[in-house]
Copies of this chain bind each other. A is one copy, B any other.
Amino acid sequence: MDNTTQKPLILITNDDGYEAKGLASLVTVAREFGEVVVVVPDGPRSGMGHAITMNMPLRIKNYKNADGVRYYKTNGTPVDCIKLGQKVVLRNRKIDLVLSGINHGSNSSVSLIYSGTMAAAIEAAFESIPAIGVSLLNYAEDADFTTAMTYARKIIAKVLSHEFPPFICLNVNVPDVPVDEIKGVKITRQTHGFWKEDLEERVDVYGMKYYWLTGYLEDLDPNEDTCQWALKHNYVSVQPVQFDLTAHQYIDTLKFIEE
């Protein structure tokens, strides 16, 4: 953030689309801190991971202006929203903070990697823009975002008033309980786990088979420093996220492939 009297410039996106209650909740909180611009998908884009739109032109539309906030929607992905926000809407103005969410549903453990919400935050981290993805552990359309808003507000205030490390973002997950049941905030690491899938087979009205992805998160990592542990024990999980996927610990082990 510039050391001037100017208000911070905050770009908001999400992956649940422009009509999501979680988006409205995040805008309400963000407005307390600065100038807010919203660039979001024109419908749900959950589970999009780090997808970008390469085979189709991108469209963007200024669909609303309210309370000093400009709202844009696009046919693109959450990651596209960051690019469109930077280049088309803000014309390369310096962004002080990217916020993504509030997601309807958890992005803890390996869900982080499937998450459009978090991919948007990671996209901002590529250019070292401080970024926070916020998720509530409730998938419902009409979930109660009070607790998530309270902790989003606390965390945004701290991020804007401290030096933020370069090339990272934060993955914030909030338990779905009333504020007074939250035990505190924990800085966590990503739980080692995976989605144990099933594909439910159904038959359509024309007699053709189709499948729905279904499953549950298999947790291989019960340790107390993980996001899953924190969330199960009613802590808000705040996880620093980076984007070097190298398995550095196996560089030497794999030298046999060079021979």
A: residues with CB less than 8 A from B are: 44, 46-55, 57-60, 79-80, 83-84, 86-88, 110, 112-114, 119, 122, 126-127, 155, 158-159, 162, 165, 167-168, 170, 184-187, 189-190, 192, 194-195, 197-199, 201-202, 204, 208-213, 238-248, 250-251, 253-258
A83 to B197, CA, bound (A): 7
List chain B residues, Cβ under 8 A from A253.
165
List chain B residues, Cβ under 8 A from A197.
83, 86-87
How many copies of this kind of chain does the complex include? Answer: 2
Closest 10 pairs between A and B when the two form their complex, measured CB to CB: A49-B50, A240-B247, A57-B210, A242-B247, A49-B49, A126-B194, A189-B246, A58-B211, A240-B250, A47-B54
List chain B residues, Cβ under 8 A from A155.
257
Q: Known contacts A58-B210, A80-B213, A87-B199: does B245 contact A190 (CB below 8 Å)? A: yes
Q: Is the CB of B165 within 8 A of A50?
A: no
Q: Is the CB of A55 within 8 A of B46?
A: yes
List chain B residues, Cβ under 8 A from A248.
189
Q: Which of A59, A113, A190 has the most chain B CB within a 10 Å cutoff?
A: A113
Q: Is the CB of B47 within 8 A of A52?
A: yes
Q: Known contacts A50-B49, A112-B245, A243-B113: does B199 contact A254 (CB below 8 Å)? A: no
Q: Is the CB of B251 within 8 A of A114?
A: no
Q: Is the CB of A51 within 8 A of B58?
A: no
28 chain-A/chain-B pairs, Cβ below 8 angstroms? A44-B55, A47-B52, A48-B49, A48-B51, A49-B52, A50-B113, A50-B114, A58-B210, A58-B211, A59-B209, A79-B114, A83-B197, A87-B197, A87-B198, A87-B199, A122-B245, A127-B194, A165-B250, A168-B247, A168-B250, A187-B254, A189-B244, A238-B254, A240-B251, A240-B254, A241-B245, A242-B246, A242-B247
Q: Is the CB of B244 within 8 A of A88?
A: no
Q: Known contacts A87-B197, A199-B58, A212-B58: does B49 contact A187 (CB below 8 Å)? A: no
Q: Which of B199, B247, B255 contacts A241 (CB 8 A)?
A: B247
List chain B residues, Cβ under 8 A from A245.
112-113, 122, 190, 241-243, 245
List chain B residues, Cβ under 8 A from A195.
126
Q: Is the CB of B52 within 8 A of A114?
A: yes
List chain B residues, Cβ under 8 A from A58.
199, 210-213
A185 to B199, CA, bound (A): 39
